[in-house]
Amino acid sequence: MSTDNINSAASTDNAGVPPHTHVVSNGKRDLTLDELARQQPGMDRLMAEVGPRVHRMYYAARAGNWRLAAYYAKSAAKQLALSVESRPKYDPQMTAYLREDFAPVTAAIKAGDAARFETAYEQMVRRANELHVEFGKAFLVWKTPAQPPDDLDLTAGMP
């Protein structure tokens, strides 16, 4: 971002501490960092992106396309890690989830072990739903879709 797109301004807040305010241009209008921050996704949007990736990961693994399953596992893990960054109140549980529940799934994918994958995957989904309860969202219960995604060739790139 060029310095032409950044303007600095200072004012004083109620506590007498001068905040450091940047204004950035998105090409259409100037936005403060606070306005830009409010546009960042919350857990609902982040999880809406995780679900389809996990769906694809699951059915790719079931088809034995371990490269495709690994691709979607990595993408889902990035989204889950981003949720920790953008919503730090979930950090301890989400970091533990990635380490204790998601990592065994990715290890099974890396090993190409279908039985190990199924066991780890079931635990991962069970723990995700336990976390929904823990976070006060018991009405959110994720389940694996009954059918593979119909917009994806699950055998592409397989030997």
Q: Dump pLDDT digits (tens) for 31-51.
A: 887 777 777 777 788 888 999
Q: Which residues contact 1 (CB under 8 A, 6 or more apart)?
A: 24
Q: Which tokens belong to 9?
A: 């301004």
Residue extent(s) of CATH 1.20.120 domains in the chain: 43-134
Strands 30-32 and 6-10: unpaired
Kind and range of the H or E run holding 8: strand 6-10
pTM: 0.79
Distance CA 100, CA 85 (A): 18
Nearest alpha-carbon partner for 84 in 30, 136, 43 = 43
Query: What is the per-residue pLDDT for 3?
Result: 41
For the domain covering 43-134, report its CATH number: 1.20.120
